[in-house]
Every structure is written in C-alpha cells, then in structure tokens.
Structure 1
Amino acid sequence: MSEYVAVTPALRDLRWRRFTDYRHAQGRHLVPITAPESGKVASSLPLAFVADENNEWNVHALIGLESECNHCLDDRFGWRAAYVPAFLRTSPFRLMPVSDEKPTSMALFLERESPWVTPDGEERIWTSAGQLTEQVSSIFTFLKQWQTHDLRTRHAVNALAECEVLVPWVVETHHGGSLPGLFRVDESRLCALEDEPYLELKRRGALPLAYAQMLSTHQVAALERMASEAGASESVDIMS
C-alpha cells in the first residue's frame, strides 16, 4: 500500500520530478475514469463498472487481464494503448480526503515512496515565499477538476445500478479463470426500461456512459493482444 502524505509547508525541502514513463501504474488492472473522457477511453480500452465496499459504483478502464497486472505497459514502462486515463497523469500527486471524519474535505497529497520523489529531482513543491510552485499549483487545479468530474460520474453510474441494468461481466484472465467484480450494461435491460427510469438516466448523464461501455467491450481483443505480447516478451530466452 502506497503511503501518501499531505502537502504542507513541512515538505518544503522535498524534491520531485515529472514522470517520464508509467512505472507508477504497475500493479493495477483497473483505473478509474470520468465521464468526459469515457469516449476516448472506450476507443482503445474496455470499460467496466465496479462497486466498492460501500456498494458505491464507478466506471473503470480495464488495463490488465490479470489481477494487479497492467498489460498496457511495455518493457520500458511506456504506455501502449492509444489513450492514457487522466488518473495516471498526475503522479506523484493525488487529491484525497483530509481524514476519515471528513471524507468530503479534500486536500493535495504526495506519494512519498513514488519513483518520482527523489533527492535529485529538479522540481520543488513550495516556493521560497511559501506558495505552491506553478507546476504543483497546475496539477492541484487539474486534480480538483478531475474530482468534480469524478463525483458527477459516480452519480451517473449509481443511476445505472439503481435501474438494474448492470450485470456481471465475465472477462477471462490471460492464464485462465476470470477477473472478479466486473459489471457491464445489459442492452436488453436498458432498452426495456419504462420512460421514467430511462429519462432519469438521461437527466443524470448516465446514458453516454452506458453506450460507451457497451461499445468498449470490443477493445477486450486489443487488450488480449497486449497481454500476449507482454507474456512473449517476458519469456524470451536471452541466451538464444
């Protein structure tokens, strides 16, 4: 589990550098996305709906066909899919709740053990005047925008769940079995909705997400190819 620390003036001497690859995306097969980027994501990666421990729903990009394994990375941690989800483009920073008691009060946090937090990093977090640097301030603004989109997206996805149009989605892993906890839109259930629940989905912005998810299922084949290529790369005999 990554350790995140709040970005306060106590970190004034800490240095970081902008990421040059996506090694920070290792160890995950799902990435949360937001509605505004769903069309771009769906053109290159499968989308799946996932419920958390509180039965709150969200939409994710499926980036691996094994649990905690990212098949979108090459052997140099370059990104192989056509689109990089916004969630992965702010490392080593993240917007997180200030505390469990204040889950809606968000602040800027830093992943302390990130590969991009280094003593020889060219970037600072704070200026000599005690203000966030321009680079960090820009990331903070982007994260706040992302958080706003995330809340609206969750609201929309939960509407789909409430209308009972989400069904379990069996996606086979690269080595057999299936990935747990994935759901998709059942087109027949969506089309069978009465006018009022259908209009409620429209009001809550859920319909574009539903259609994007259904279209994105065709991207499983592309992810399977990347998984196969990654497996072939790992099995190369360096003595041959």
Structure 2
Amino acid sequence: MIYERAVPISSERHRDWSLEAGRNYAFAKEVNSVPLLAAEFIAAATDYAIVFAGDDKNIFPSVILGMRANENNAVDAEGNWTGGYVPAFLRRYPFVFARSDDGKTFTLCIDEEHEGFNKDGKGERLFDAEGKRTRYLESMLTFTREYQGLFDRTQLFCKRLMEHDLLKPAQAQFSLPGGQSAQLGGFFTLDRDKLKALPAEVLAEMAKTDELELCYVHLQSLNNLTPMARRIAASQAAAPEADEAAVSEDA
C-alpha cells in the first residue's frame, strides 16, 4: 500500500544509516483508506468513517480518508496531515514486521525508499558506532511489536463478525464539487438487524470482550461520511457544498 522496498533491518546493512521521519505524510497522499486496529476505533470515529475491507474469507477494519481512488483528503499538497487522528498504520511507517512462512517469527523491516532514510546523519540513527541498536530503534521495535499484537486481536474480532455473518456489502453515494456524483464501494458494514438477532449468550460474550462496543462505534462512525464530503467541497473556494452522503446496501 505505501511500502516500496521493505528490507530487514541489520547492523551490517544499516549501521551508518539515519532516519529523518518528521511529520510529513506525503507518502500517504494517494491512499484513500488504511487498515485500522480495533483499539483505535474510538479515537478514529471522531473524524472518520470506519468500514471493513477485504473479501468473504478475510476482512479487516479500514478507515476512509478520501472519497476518490488515489486521493487522501487528510494530506495537503505539502504533505501535512490536515485530518484529525493519525492511524497507527501510518505512524508506524517506514517500519513494518515481516512474518515468516510458518507465522512464528517476525523480522523488523524498513522501507529503504523513505525520503528521510539517509547516510548523512540527519535525524535518528538506527545503530550506534558499535553496531548496537539505538534507543530510537528500540522504541520503534517496541511500537511495531505492540502494533502486531493489537493487529492479531483485531483479527479475532473480525473472525467473530464473519462467524456470525454480521457483515454486508455496502457503498457510499455522494456529490462532489461541480455537481459531479460519485460512489465509494468495495467495503462491508455491520448488519444492525443481524447483530440484534444474535443469541443472548453471544451478545453477552461480545459485551465482555468490548466487541459489542466496537460494533456500535463502527455504525456511528458512518455518519462522518457526510461531513467528510462537505469538507472536500469547502476546501475548494469556488465549489458548491457537497450534498449529503449516504451508505446503502448493495443490490
């Protein structure tokens, strides 16, 4: 999605490298959605719509950042983040874990194409003069490890939803500046009626694990589609205000 050349981090290969990460999110300007951890639902739902992306066999929460393909409305032309909450998926970049084929081993990798990755000593060093991990690299390893743990927990939540057939295909229909109409599809939303029809013992278990809360946070977040469409219109001075967006089930 945003990684171009992720390679395992090693003292032999990256001993003299530094990372100037900064606050520039230009690397994400062409992604209109990114994965979202279950632990981020409440924070993200203040500003964005949370949906589920994937297929009938494998789905994962995703946060909508733009109404058009290859367009992130939370990043301006200079690469500044203009939205609210920044998803951990983007805060983790350019680091990422690579999982072994057997799923038991994780290797910390870095995208060597990141514009801030350099041999000029700018930013934070990954290794010290003796080839040992710096405090910065250790902190990023911890952050990425925590991310992976939360990722696995989110997958369990998604498996619960699929196990009880609680998701349905949906699409968002809205109007863009200039009178153009468009739709955003290819995602799933929760079926409220099926959720309410679950057996009492299943609902009780989901309440204990906070999964029930996540379901309703997701449903509430869908109301952010209309404000998002209006913000797109407001960002263009000569454009009329966008019409109300709506989420509907696919036919």
Give the structure-1-normalised TM-score: 0.86
- For 2:88, the equivalent position in structure 1 comes to 86
Secondary structure at the counterpart of residue 171 of structure 1: strand
Structure 2 residue 21 is matched with structure 1 residue 18: yes
Secondary structure at the counterpart of residue 18 of structure 1: coil
Pick aligned residue for 1:187 from 172, 192, 216: 192
Deviation at 1:212, TM superposition (A): 1.0
Pick aligned residue for 1:96 from 92, 95, 98: 98
Q: Which has the higher strand share?
A: 2
Kept after mapping to 1: 8 A contact 2:16/2:119: no
- For 2:248, the equivalent position in structure 1 comes to none
Deviation at 1:3, TM superposition (A): 1.0
Structure 2 residue 34 is matched with structure 1 residue 31: yes
Structure 1 residues 91-135: Cα deviation after superposition (integer angstroms, max 9, x where no partner): 2211222x4x23342111110111221343232211122221111
The letter of the residue matching 2:79 is: F
Distance 1:157 1:180 in 2: 19
Distance 1:109 1:172 in 2: 38
The letter of the residue matching 2:41 is: S
**Aligned pairs (5 A) from 1:204-219:** 204-219=209-224
Gaps of 5+ in 1: 236-240
- For 1:124, the equivalent position in structure 2 comes to 125
**Aligned pairs (5 A) from 1:34-73:** 34-51=37-54, 55-73=57-75
The letter of the residue matching 1:58 is: F
Give the structure-2-normalised TM-score: 0.83
Secondary structure at the counterpart of residue 186 of structure 2: coil
Which stretch has the larger CA shift, 166-175 or 40-49? 166-175
Which stretch has the larger CA shift, 219-228 or 195-204? 195-204
Which stretch has the larger CA shift, 200-209 or 18-27? 200-209
Deviation at 1:178, TM superposition (A): 2.8
Distance 1:197 1:74 in 2: 44
Q: How many residues align?
A: 231
Kept after mapping to 2: 8 A contact 1:92/1:116: no
